[in-house]
Structure 1
Amino acid sequence: MADMHKGHRARLRQRFIKAGLEGFAPHEVLELLLTFAIPRRDTNPIAHALIRRFGSLHGVFEAKYAELIKVEGIGEQAATLITLMLPTMRKYLISKGSEKTVLTDINSYKSFARSLLIGETYEHFEVVSLDAKSCVISTERIASGDEGLAMVSIRRVISFLLRSGSAAALIAHNHPQGDAQPSKADIELTNKIGSLCSELGITLLDHVIIAGTKAFSFRENNLL
């Protein structure tokens, strides 16, 4: 039985080496991933159990460690590996985006906001500093909260923008519950930040709200 599982693991890895994840079913992606954390055990039923529990591949990757560990067959190493995937992707996207990224339109604002907030299950507020040519200078996570409104210090927002020599700014946050529409508090906060930026000669390009696969642009909806 161990030899059969070993052979199956080897075949999965060879498929990936030859063609990437093209043609892999969601459970097969997890099955392959789990082979690096669960030695000498068939990971196929565990992969299926994860999909059943969390509903989809993205549901598995967005699951919290405490929930993953409850699935039979998932130990500390496997749960850690799974929860490592999205933060690693965010670091990759931020690193890639820091190489002279130019934000010139609403689609680019949304795309960059997604790179900062993809897969986050808690609410976070990000500020992006840009130069006069709309090139990204740096980003800073200003606030984080539980699954509710993240408390944002406007002083910290403005301090970061001044410290980084911003000519323009993009702000973004996420709604973990899945509704991208802005709340009254979101609109009021945006207006306050926009007003202060204007007084300081900094252009507030947009405020983007990320909710799962959805993105809401204040600029696109005439709220800026």
Structure 2
Amino acid sequence: MGNNKKERDKNTLHIGHRDRVRRRFVNEGIASFDDHIALEMLLYYSIPQKDTNELAHELLNHFGSLAGVFDASVESLESVKGVGRNTAVLIKLIPAMYSKYLESKFPKEKIILDSSEKSGDYFVSQLLCYANEVLVASFLDSQLCVKNTVVVSEGTSSKLAIPYRKIVNYALNYNTPNIIIAHNHPSGIAAPSTDDIDAVRQLNQTLNKLNLKLRDSIIVAGNNYYSMAEHSKFRHLFV
């Protein structure tokens, strides 16, 4: 009897705490939340009864950061005690839905990348959910309207390897004179490395010989991006 009362009191305490956290979110937004509180609140929706604070701390300790938690695979998440399939799927759903949200800002029928800001936002939405390094290329018509965006290379290396012939073949097949490339730095910062610069220089030379124009190279890290064409020291590499 006493144990049942203690359990009821404990559940009431959890419910009260959850209500306070939700109200704080509604009133203040999430910017003021510590990472463990934000993750704890997310876990409410897959673990309706238990205290999720301890599990939030465990996940952050295990994966190193909030980004590490969201980038982890379903299998890796499930290896943490207390994380079931529903919780793992919920965690993976958050960055996936954010990526869809960013994509929805661009009308499906016509995406025009005529500024570094538009290009940066577009490629953040394209690359946000990749945990490994990925290189994509967008092929644009004479009005800088995207005809197609494809993954041209991916792997785990930190060095940007550009498949020049593949990019040229895509451009010729799509009959698009303008190209923008973008790749992500999953564990780094949004800035080009020496290898990135050399690779872009070589691609520019290759495309120029065929009257194809390299418009920009975007580096993405999380929600941040770096437009090489926007910076004066790299502008000579682009049209």
Bin of the TM-score, shorter chain as denominator length: 0.7 to 0.9
Q: Relative to structure 1, is the Cα distance of residues 22 and 191 closer, same or farther in structure 2, using a 3 angstrom cutoff?
A: closer
Alignment pair present for 1:57 and 2:66: yes
Aligned position for 1:169: 179
Shifted more, 14-23 versus 36-45: the winner is 14-23
Q: Relative to structure 1, is the Cα distance of residues 50 and 88 closer, same or farther in structure 2, using a 3 angstrom cutoff?
A: same
Structure 2 residues not aligned, in runs of 5+: 1-9
1:175, 1:200 → 2: CA distance? Answer: 29
Letter in 1 for 2:167: V
8 Å contact 1:178–1:212 — kept in the other structure? no
Q: Which of 171, 175, 181 is the aligned partner of 2:192?
A: 181
8 Å contact 2:123–2:218 — kept in the other structure? yes
Count of residues in correspondence between the two structures: 223
Shifted more, 113-122 versus 28-37: the winner is 113-122
User: Which protein is bigger by CA-based radius of gyration?
Assistant: 2
1:155, 1:164 → 2: CA distance? Answer: 14
Shift, 1:6, TM fit: 4.0
8 Å contact 1:182–1:209 — kept in the other structure? no
Shift, 1:151, TM fit: 5.1
1:72-83 matches, within 5 Å, as 72-83=81-92
8 Å contact 1:130–1:166 — kept in the other structure? yes
Letter in 1 for 2:106: G
Letter in 2 for 1:109: S
Aligned position for 1:118: 128
Q: Relative to structure 1, is the Cα distance of residues 206 and 93 closer, same or farther in structure 2, using a 3 angstrom cutoff?
A: same
Structure 1 residues not aligned, in runs of 5+: none
**CA offset digits 1:71-108 (Å, max 9, x no partner):** 33223322232123223322332342344443233343
Query: TM-score if structure 2 supplies the norm length?
Result: 0.74
**CA offset digits 1:41-74 (Å, max 9, x no partner):** 1112212333344454334323344543343322
1:94, 1:192 → 2: CA distance? Answer: 30
RMSD after superposition: 3.1
8 Å contact 1:173–1:209 — kept in the other structure? yes
8 Å contact 1:144–1:150 — kept in the other structure? no
Letter in 2 for 1:138: N
